[in-house]
Chains A and B, each alone.
Chain A
């Protein structure tokens, strides 16, 4: 085995080195495919993260929705009495209301606005994000706000600043000033940066229809539930559904999948990524097939002088691996350089896992694409290749 790899490695490296311009050209094509695959993966991660970031970071295990809301947060309505009932169920450590809405944040220049997700949370309860700077919300109805890292990045607002929100209530545009008491890490929701206000404040300043303006009904969208023992999620979920009227529950994972457009978006991007990899297989396969066709006589000579088939096959595999590794490395480097030039508004995230998966997939498609050519090389008859057959 050692002898096979020693000879095949020698032949493969020599051929690549002595024809480096040709092989580099293929590596560059692989680099471009890698760039595309990594960007699609990063775009999928960025867009997915923009949708799910807040939910995925919640210190909760279950989300309680209004029954028959199809796990759509914006379609669910839950009042205070449900919160009290949820909190009474055995196995629940904490529960907090969550109200979601959109608002326009007026940027410090006074002219431009930034669309943000305005989330109403209960101070000190599940749903309020941990701040990385400043303090948590203190009052249930104060004019204070926690902004997430994305809002801070895109608005230039900082701890202690006062931000102004423009919301439409009835037929009027209303403006509300809130003091920034804390800054949390990235907490995007619904592809927008987020701000967190006390629940009662949220209910007062959220966009409302004419009918809602004069209503005194305090309703949240969902209730976020933290369990005493996360392992008992099934049991507590059943208990909740049986003890609290007209609700349904979902794990965070299911809740994320049910976010509007999330699954469709992810499957679209995954399909694109898959097709790009498929194109990669065809390109690499095509190149090596043409190359093998061009060197039939040369492989014939090698076989005629006694080179064993495993050496011929291993040599082809090693060449493919060398070309692919160089291509992927160049592609990774190009991706890194390009990514540095993108503004923070572009939803691209080079998450370690997805990037590594994309890179591993790229490394695998090389040998996969070259399989046909390797099979062809192994089947070359030296007699025919050398023109000795009658």
Chain B
């Protein structure tokens, strides 16, 4: 068993287009430990969203390995990948995160329901988690009755409720104002550390990296730099843009 919760080895993803072969992800290797929150940053078209999709078992890499809890995602068929997403991965997306006809608590419980683990303790945990995220009064609200920030917090609760090994967030603050964005990412980071999950957040907003442990910078499909340690990460946040070296 690997010492890391997640490990990618020489991941490549190529697409064929009319203008030729596009290398969306080019030989990317990194590791994330349990309890570590990592940001994946880079300009538009740098390959970070493709990388996230591969990590989420939504997209097969052209080559390379993605090892989650000792299991290589690239070798799984569709059915097994769906099962893996259900059991071992937690998600939040930019928008349209929640099932619109389920209330906040029902959306969170859905992950337990899908995993056939919805019992009294699970229901209680879902309520407690939502309460911790400041949604104790919103348990029975439908997504349409909540603000964008509240919806994101419900999505965070849903991503964590089933104790996944890996939590992925795709631009979780894209539709939020700055204050709400900070709140959401801070809460997210706190829960990932507290629950000892491996967390990866794709973001274009470097200010949000304030709460992560490491920053992986991508460019043209390649992993060009890793910012490790609080000092380095905070310098990146203060600069507001990645350095060139």
Q: Which residues of A contact B (CB under 8 A)?
A: 3, 6-7, 10-11, 14-15, 17-19, 297-298, 300-309, 311, 382-383, 386-390
Of the listed stretches B53-61, B190-198, B226-234, name the one at the interface; the rest are far from the partner chain: B53-61
| Contact yes or no, A388 B49, CB < 8 A | yes
| Contact yes or no, A7 B114, CB < 8 A | yes
Across-interface contacts of B99 in A (CB, < 8 A): 11, 298, 301-302
| Contact yes or no, B53 A305, CB < 8 A | no
- Nearest chain A residue, comparing its CB with the CB of B24: A390
With both chains docked as a complex, state the minimum distance between the C-beta of A298 and any C-beta of chain B, in angstroms. 6
The 5 closest A-B pairs by CB, nearest first: A306-B86, A306-B85, A18-B101, A297-B96, A15-B101
With both chains docked as a complex, state the minimum distance between the C-beta of A307 and any C-beta of chain B, in angstroms. 6
| Contact yes or no, A305 B114, CB < 8 A | yes
Q: Is B142 part of the binding interface, using a Cβ–Cβ cutoff of 8 Å?
A: yes
- A305-B79 contact given A14-B102, A18-B142, A298-B96, CB 8 Å threshold: no
Q: Is B158 part of the binding interface, using a Cβ–Cβ cutoff of 8 Å?
A: yes
| Contact yes or no, B93 A386, CB < 8 A | yes
- A307-B170 contact given A19-B101, A301-B96, A383-B59, CB 8 Å threshold: no
| Contact yes or no, B53 A306, CB < 8 A | no
| Contact yes or no, B58 A388, CB < 8 A | yes
Within the assembled complex, what's the spacing in Å between the Cα atoms of A15 and B106?
12
| Contact yes or no, B82 A303, CB < 8 A | yes
Q: Is B89 part of the binding interface, using a Cβ–Cβ cutoff of 8 Å?
A: yes
Within the assembled complex, what's the spacing in Å between the Cα atoms of A272 and B85?
50
Task: Pick from A10, A382, A387: contact of B113, CB below 8 A.
Answer: A10
Chain B 128-160 interface 0/1 with A at a Cβ cutoff of 8 Å (1 = within): 000000000000001000000000000000100
Q: Pull 18 A–B residue pairs with CB atoms less than 8 Å apart, ordered by A.
A: A14-B106, A18-B101, A19-B101, A301-B93, A301-B99, A304-B56, A304-B85, A305-B91, A306-B114, A382-B58, A383-B53, A383-B58, A383-B59, A386-B93, A388-B49, A388-B53, A389-B59, A390-B50
Across-interface contacts of B100 in A (CB, < 8 A): 298
| Contact yes or no, B93 A304, CB < 8 A | yes
Within the assembled complex, what's the spacing in Å between the Cα atoms of A3 and B117?
11
Q: Is B98 part of the binding interface, using a Cβ–Cβ cutoff of 8 Å?
A: yes
- Nearest chain B residue, comparing its CB with the CB of A306: B86
- A14-B82 contact given A301-B96, A383-B53, A383-B58, CB 8 Å threshold: no
Task: Pick from A7, A301, A311: contact of B98, CB below 8 A.
Answer: A301
Within the assembled complex, what's the spacing in Å between the Cα atoms of A15 and B113?
16
Across-interface contacts of B142 in A (CB, < 8 A): 18
Q: Is B39 part of the binding interface, using a Cβ–Cβ cutoff of 8 Å?
A: no
Across-interface contacts of B170 in A (CB, < 8 A): 388
Within the assembled complex, what's the spacing in Å between the Cα atoms of A305 and B161?
12
With both chains docked as a complex, state the minimum distance between the C-beta of B25 and any C-beta of chain A, in angstroms. 10
Task: Pick from B96, B101, B114: contact of A14, CB below 8 A.
Answer: B101
Across-interface contacts of A300 in B (CB, < 8 A): 96
Q: Is B116 part of the binding interface, using a Cβ–Cβ cutoff of 8 Å?
A: yes
Within the assembled complex, what's the spacing in Å between the Cα atoms of A300 and B22?
25
Across-interface contacts of B113 in A (CB, < 8 A): 6-7, 10
- Nearest chain B residue, comparing its CB with the CB of A17: B101
Within the assembled complex, what's the spacing in Å between the Cα atoms of A389 and B13?
12
Q: Is B52 part of the binding interface, using a Cβ–Cβ cutoff of 8 Å?
A: yes
| Contact yes or no, B114 A307, CB < 8 A | yes
- Nearest chain A residue, comparing its CB with the CB of B98: A301
Within the assembled complex, what's the spacing in Å between the Cα atoms of A387 and B171?
12
| Contact yes or no, A305 B101, CB < 8 A | no
With both chains docked as a complex, state the minimum distance between the C-beta of B97 and any C-beta of chain A, in angstroms. 7
Q: Is B111 part of the binding interface, using a Cβ–Cβ cutoff of 8 Å?
A: yes
Across-interface contacts of B106 in A (CB, < 8 A): 14
Q: Is B83 part of the binding interface, using a Cβ–Cβ cutoff of 8 Å?
A: yes
Q: Is B87 part of the binding interface, using a Cβ–Cβ cutoff of 8 Å?
A: yes
Task: Pick from A7, A18, A301: contact of B97, CB below 8 A.
Answer: A301
| Contact yes or no, A308 B83, CB < 8 A | yes
Across-interface contacts of B86 in A (CB, < 8 A): 305-308
Q: Other than the known A306-B85, A307-B82, what 8 A-B pairs have Cβ atoms closer than 8 Å?
A: A297-B96, A304-B93, A306-B114, A386-B93, A387-B94, A388-B58, A389-B53, A390-B15
With both chains docked as a complex, state the minimum distance between the C-beta of B123 and any C-beta of chain A, in angstroms. 14
Within the assembled complex, what's the spacing in Å between the Cα atoms of A389 and B93?
13
Across-interface contacts of A15 in B (CB, < 8 A): 101
With both chains docked as a complex, state the minimum distance between the C-beta of A151 and any C-beta of chain B, in angstroms. 59
- A306-B82 contact given A19-B101, A382-B58, CB 8 Å threshold: yes
Across-interface contacts of B85 in A (CB, < 8 A): 304-306
With both chains docked as a complex, state the minimum distance between the C-beta of A95 and any C-beta of chain B, in angstroms. 71
Within the assembled complex, what's the spacing in Å between the Cα atoms of A134 and B45?
95
Across-interface contacts of A303 in B (CB, < 8 A): 82
- Nearest chain B residue, comparing its CB with the CB of A385: B96
With both chains docked as a complex, state the minimum distance between the C-beta of A1 and any C-beta of chain B, in angstroms. 12
Within the assembled complex, what's the spacing in Å between the Cα atoms of A303 and B114?
11
Interface residues of B in 74-128 (CB under 8 A from A): 79, 82-87, 89, 91, 93-94, 96-102, 106, 110-111, 113-114, 116
Across-interface contacts of B93 in A (CB, < 8 A): 301, 304, 386
| Contact yes or no, A305 B96, CB < 8 A | no
- A304-B102 contact given A3-B116, A388-B49, A390-B24, CB 8 Å threshold: no
Q: Which of B83, B85, B94, B142 has the most CB of A within 10 A?
A: B85
- Nearest chain A residue, comparing its CB with the CB of B81: A306
- Nearest chain B residue, comparing its CB with the CB of A309: B82
- Nearest chain B residue, comparing its CB with the CB of A308: B82
Across-interface contacts of B84 in A (CB, < 8 A): 306
Across-interface contacts of A18 in B (CB, < 8 A): 101, 142
Across-interface contacts of A19 in B (CB, < 8 A): 101
Across-interface contacts of B59 in A (CB, < 8 A): 383, 388-389
